[in-house]
Copies of this chain bind each other. A is one copy, B any other.
């Protein structure tokens, strides 16, 4: 039975599973504490248990699932407290990235940062939330790269990915788009001035606001979740 894979998008097979399972976890389809037995998952994704095991290993490495030896894996229980700690960490990490960016970005990086930032103003006027979300991701990625520190980059990207599920609906809030742009503007301005402290503070405030806005949605998702048969 080695024909076509049934779950298809692109990339490595097990990588797809990681994304798929992680999606199911963060969307609440799989609830925290729920048991993840390998056989069911293998059947569900039409693969063998081997890639399932590897996927569970990776998911446990990034903290989405918890593995007990010989006792199976469960969806990691992210307490409200731990979630808050991750948002706070994110704010600190972004602050570091912004500060370093202000001090270290090359002229080319500064230029493209400002150009893209200015270009995104149109998206705000149009209210193009999807497009702005894409730009927003790239904007923050520029900050992470601009810090010119590989390890901080890794930690920041990983933390951000872990927080991604809880940050989804942030731009749904009315007026959030424009506020986000203004906060970005404060960061960019500080970076262009080379003012690391101001850039760091602006970034921290920016992320803190996003965290508070997103926390609301996190609570709702955690409260109730879809029941599963089987």
Contact = CB atoms under 8 A, between A and B. Distances in A.
Interface in A44-92: 50, 53-54, 57-58, 61-63, 69, 81-82, 85-86, 88-89, 92
A82 B12 contact: no
A147 to B, nearest CB: 9
A159 interface: yes
A92 to B, nearest CB: 5
Contacts of A43: none
Which DSSP category, helix, strand, loop or mixed, fits chain A's interface? helix
A18 B158 CA distance: 22
Given A57-B54, A58-B57, A92 B12 contact: no
Contact of A54 (B53, B85, B88): B53
Chain multiplicity (copies): 2
A149 interface: yes
A96 interface: yes
A150 interface: yes
A121 interface: no
B151 A82 contact: yes
A213 interface: no
Contacts of A88: 149, 151-152
A96 to B, nearest CB: 5
A85 B155 contact: no
A152 B92 contact: yes
Interface string A127-163: 0000000000000000000000111101100010000
Contacts of A155: 89, 155, 159
Given A12-B69, A57-B57, A61-B58, A149 B50 contact: no
**Listed residue (A50, A69, A81, A92) with the most chain B CB atoms within 10 angstroms of its CB:** A92
B152 A85 contact: yes
Contacts of A86: 151
Q: Top 3 closest A-B pairs, CB basis?
A: A61-B61, A89-B151, A85-B149
